[in-house]
Amino acid sequence: QASQIFANSPTAQIGSIGTFMVVYDMSEAAAKEGIKVHRFATGPLKGAGAKGTPLTEEQRAHLQQITDESQTAFDGAVKRGRGLTDKQLADVRTGGVWTAQNAMDRKLIDGVRPLGKTLDELVKFASTGGKAPTRNSASTLPMMKQTQTLPMLSATPKEQRHEL
């Protein structure tokens, strides 16, 4: 886990702590079209959610269990990495997002600073053999009150473009 987390803008959206899985049950649509789908599988869970097949209660329960187990692991990582109490974790574990100041108030980030400043710190970190400041150390940079507009990085092909 990162020892520090910074947003690059006061309007950055931080959070969305939660886990979900989507499985489309297209069996009614297939039936309305006169399509009968047969699922051949080596177990009752194999092929759960295959297009045109209904989900059984056993499959639903299994998929919910996977989602719950993923959330439990995620909760532990967030709690440990951000030093949150059970109550603090419960308060941010809504699936919602917050802007930077609200996220800082909830201990989800350590501050706001331009991406360039963060990249400079990472270069410094790499050049010193990996001695990173901790979240509570005196070397933690103060929150920046200004924002920086960042250009879109582009690569070939066009589908690989990412905006920061």
DSSP per residue over the chain, as a string?
Answer: --S--EESSTT--EE-----------HHHHHHTT-------SSTTTTTT-TT-PPPHHHHHHHHHHHHHHHHHHHHHHHHHHT--HHHHHHHTTS-EE-HHHHHHTTS-SEE--HHHHHHHHHHHHHTTS-PPPTTSTTPPPPPSS----PPB--SSGGG-B--
pLDDT tens sequence across 63-82: 999 999 999 999 999 999 99
pLDDT at position 30 is 93
pLDDT tens sequence across 127-159: 988 765 555 544 444 444 333 333 333 333 334
pLDDT at position 149 is 37
Whether the pLDDT of residue 3 is over 60: the answer is yes
Whether the pLDDT of residue 83 is over 50: the answer is yes
> Residue 128, Cβ neighbours under 10 Å: how many?
9
- Name the residue with higher pLDDT: 158 or 126: 126
Measured distance CA(87)–CA(161) in Å, rounded: 39
- Beta-carbon-side half-sphere exposure of residue 152 (alpha carbons within 13 Å): 8
Nearest to 49 by CA among 58, 34, 19, 20: 58
